[in-house]
Structure 1
């Protein structure tokens, strides 16, 4: 709601929830999305916000491999997702779920994308800013994995909802759905992840445009400019969970954008995360946004990463 002025906010209270959802969706950045998928997500989030359980489920394949919350460790099939929405949607009141950006997408029903979206506190007890990796087949969602930083989420709710470590899922069904991304985004994602894993800041920075941006949502850090990005990546090479000895999990997206899910190294207290990429016409990265659960980071590591945003 902070995106709206007080006057607009007051006026908005008198409008039906679907109309509010549409207003948010119209503001979503779809400049790096396929028209087909931009339109699909617009409808999906409006339907979800209107608390229409069956309408929301119509976007998912009955053969849904998984809808996984990678932060809380909820691996859900179609029936589980249906039951979850049936349980929680009636209590959402004026809550909203709306897209902020869509990267990549499907062509003729098949493909994949990253969607950045917000669930307001009415939905699940706190404002969740999420990056979701989504695969499509035959016009339906067959895999969806959400990544978000829980560091500001209520401690009690986190303890209540978090899956115990012994039962926390490790298979997010990427093998079941296969690769549904374009060759260009696969090549760039693979190259970037490999360079980060090996601590080669120069190789990683070479993939960026001159005026690119790199954002770590979990640490609340944004670096601007190719040269500055290279210096920053060098400073965090041995401590960032997305860097040192990380491994590629799954790539999604099209030639215009998308990104990749990654496993953190076995030495990290973070299990994994996601990196979203926007590409220019020459295939250079113009923005990279990564997130993971900062709550899991050792406090000293988190402080190192935060201080690394400063030039020495």
Structure 2
């Protein structure tokens, strides 16, 4: 393991399960890795548009890549949110696993009887490197139309679904003040592709109001694809029918009063131009 895992907003069972999964994967143990997946498992890379729709396709994928992984390379979790029904896991793939650069990802993971039935990984293509990304992404019209969410309904808790519904509703209406009321007073807001980090409920509300329509999970046309997690943490995958970024994921940590104490958004920054990212950063300046 390369770093301590932040699992304060996850159950012990899902933490142990995912830590073992990543250790086995890093050890290039193909059979052991595949033992963590259900036979009806589906894996999607939401940035590249790769859709592995069966256990056998996923097996073939790892069988192709694992033998070429560099010595001492690793895939390891950094933060886990949720339980053994569903979770959001932030993790790192070191350079050489799936390209010449490291990957920092946020995965949506659904389980059944402890086995992974669905995994969708989201990451920022800009962090990977625009040159490294070229040629890997599927054409836009060849991305999967759905991400297997209909096969895993009801894997999140009632509490998380309520928080997600209220937050996504406020964000979709452009109601930054309404969204801010769902946060704890000392909450932290992080948008990974724009490198924006804001502390405090008032400042978060002001930013969400000012950046509506620029952040891909705010404004008209946004919707929840799938909610994940429990009363500790989790989040939701989102879709956006307007604007250049059609999908992404938002990780949520909840406090004991079921308020959001930390929000972390991950989406593909390669889909927007430099000016958009600069505008998102400028809107974080407090006056």
TM-score tier by shorter-chain length is over 0.9
Match of 1:99 among 77, 87, 97: 77
Distance 2:258 2:36 in 1: 31
Shift of 1:309: 1.2
2:55 is matched with 78
Distance 1:190 1:214 in 2: 18
For the pair 1:200 / 2:175, whether they are aligned, the reply is: yes
For the pair 1:175 / 2:150, whether they are aligned, the reply is: yes
Alignment of 1:36-75 (within 5 A): 36-64=13-41, 66-75=42-51
1:93-147 CA-to-partner distances (Å, cap 9, x unmatched) read 22110000000112xxxx1000000001120121111110100011110011010
1:216 is matched with 191
2:214 is matched with 239
Question: TM-score with structure 2 length normalisation?
Answer: 0.96
1:286 is matched with 261
- Secondary structure of residue in 2 paired with 1:152: helix
Shift of 1:298: 3.5
User: Pairwise CA RMSD of aligned residues?
Assistant: 1.1
Higher mean alpha-carbon deviation, 299-308 vs 27-36, is at 299-308
2:66 is matched with 89
Contact 1:150–1:294, Cα closer than 8 Å, also in 2: yes
Q: Unpaired runs of 5+ in structure 2?
A: none
Alignment of 1:103-122 (within 5 A): 103-106=81-84, 111-122=85-96
1:13 is matched with none
2:204 is matched with 229
Contact 2:130–2:270, Cα closer than 8 Å, also in 1: no
Question: TM-score with structure 1 length normalisation?
Answer: 0.88
Q: Which one has a bigger Cα radius of gyration?
A: 1
Contact 2:86–2:228, Cα closer than 8 Å, also in 1: yes
Shift of 1:288: 0.3
Shift of 1:170: 2.2
- Secondary structure of residue in 1 paired with 2:214: coil
Contact 1:212–1:224, Cα closer than 8 Å, also in 2: yes
Change (3 A) 1:156 1:79: farther
2:9 is matched with 32
Match of 2:237 among 228, 251, 261: 261
Contact 1:274–1:290, Cα closer than 8 Å, also in 2: yes
- Secondary structure of residue in 1 paired with 2:125: coil
Higher mean alpha-carbon deviation, 55-64 vs 84-93, is at 84-93
Q: Unpaired runs of 5+ in structure 1?
A: 1-20
Distance 2:284 2:103 in 1: 24
Contact 2:103–2:127, Cα closer than 8 Å, also in 1: no
